[in-house]
Amino acid sequence: MQLRHNYRAYPDATQRRALAQAFGCARVVWNDCLRTRKEAHAAGLPFVKSAELSKTHITQAKRTPERAWLAEVSAVVLQQSLRDLDTAYKNFFDGLEGKRPRVGAPRFKSKKDTRQSIRLNANAFSMQDNGTVYVAKVGNLKVTWSRGLPAAPTSLTVTKDSSGRYFLSFVVDTEPDHLPERDEEAGIDLGLSAFAVLSDGTKIAAPRFLRRAEKKLKRLQRGLSRKAKGSKNRAKARIKVARQHAKVADRRRDWHHKESTKIIRDNQAVYVEDLAVSGLGRTRLAKSVHDAGWSAFVSMLEYKAIKHGRHFGRVGRFEPTSQVCSACGIKDGPKPLSVREWACGECGAVHDRDINAAKNILAAGRADRLNASWSAGKTGTKVPAQRGEAGSRRKGRTTQAGTLAL
């Protein structure tokens, strides 16, 4: 399986200028190639192949006065930018054909974007004995190693975030690290009053990192709004706001990693409800939904289950988990969110709304898993797959394990 490991980097002034130049060149190649394809589409011409774009917008462009500075950065950076554009188009077309969730068409990049990145393959970087990382035409970058890499990296992404921090993101191929099997299984009901409720009755309180930092963020935002546009003071104020948001995101990510790792270690199978987070993010609960970070948490559960030999399952979002009595199975009808406890009209059992939903998610997840196993046995040859094999490598997607994972 492929995992991504992130580390903080500390380039000096010369290296920051070299990285800024690399970011800009990669952006120019992306925009030039995207513009050519859009113009060809508007003119009714066939889709322009990558080989032709590489020849005209990289190789030949370096020989022109307008784009001669492209030769000052590593050619790998430029080629990877074109490959990333190809991937963006593939994801867009696959979404239209129903092969994956829909995404928008590739868009032009701006030099004003607060987040910049370049991607390199193994030919353009190397690990040094002194703990630094050599990046072609940038130099040896100082890195804070929070932990060692489990294997030799296959690619590297250098990123500058909105708060001015630099990160090195390595992709490595590793074998799953299976944990000892357990008998426990868990259904998880995600919410806002409690971040997560497990089917065994455990409630995980919502930390609300954004809400807790809101007072300071409002003060910094007011200061930013009072600065003249285009001034140096406004740029400084913007960085202060970005750093505060980065602190909130780091705390949330660290907490997600700790809680998801604990759940995976304690349960052999984990089932969650497939929530429509993008839809909820457009309601009056948007700030609380984004503060909770359900999607990131569920993604961590999924890849950690694969990594550690656990089972992960999703229950359909239209499953009436809050309407069915987990004791007798009778559907008791919809209830407003204000109702946190209710009694079944059939058997009289008194339920906590969230715990009852978690129990129903566990039951539905077990049923789906059993049905899938039965169907596989009926329709195919009974050849047991290797544990962790299914979903361990996905074309065009790499699971992410941050420096605080595990």
In degrees and rounded to multiples of 5, residue 18 shows phi and psi of -65, -40
Which one of 291, 302, 319, 354 is the catalytic residue?
Answer: 354
Told to judge if 189 belongs to the known catalytic residues of this protein, a careful annotator would answer: yes
Told to judge if 354 belongs to the known catalytic residues of this protein, a careful annotator would answer: yes
Give the list of residues 6+ apart from residue 165 with CB closer than 8 angstroms, or none. 8, 246
With 0-12 CB in 10 A as exposed, 13-18 as middle and 19+ as buried, what is 301? buried
Sign of CA dihedral 241, 245, 251, 253: negative
Among residues 65, 57, 58, 59, which one has the least CA distance to residue 35? 57
Token pair listed for 150:
């489990």
Token pair listed for 191:
């919410």
DSSP state of 69: G
Residue keyed to tokens 């035409």: 137
CA distance 260 to 404: 12
Residue type, 161: D
Which one of 32, 185, 273, 332 is the catalytic residue?
Answer: 273
CA distance 6 to 146: 9
CA distance 333 to 337: 13
Told to judge if 181 belongs to the known catalytic residues of this protein, a careful annotator would answer: no
With 0-12 CB in 10 A as exposed, 13-18 as middle and 19+ as buried, what is 204? middle
Which one of 185, 189, 302, 319 is the catalytic residue?
Answer: 189
Among residues 213, 214, 234, which one has the least CA distance to residue 223? 234
CB atoms closer than 10 angstroms to residue 385: 8
Complete DSSP assignment for 141-209? E-EE-SS--SS-EEEEEEEE-TTS-EEEEEEEE----PPPP-S-EEEEEE-SSEEEEETTS-EEE---H
In degrees and rounded to multiples of 5, residue 208 shows phi and psi of 55, 60
Residue keyed to tokens 């420096």: 403
Sign of CA dihedral 399, 402, 403, 405: negative
- Active-site residues: which are they? 189, 273, 354
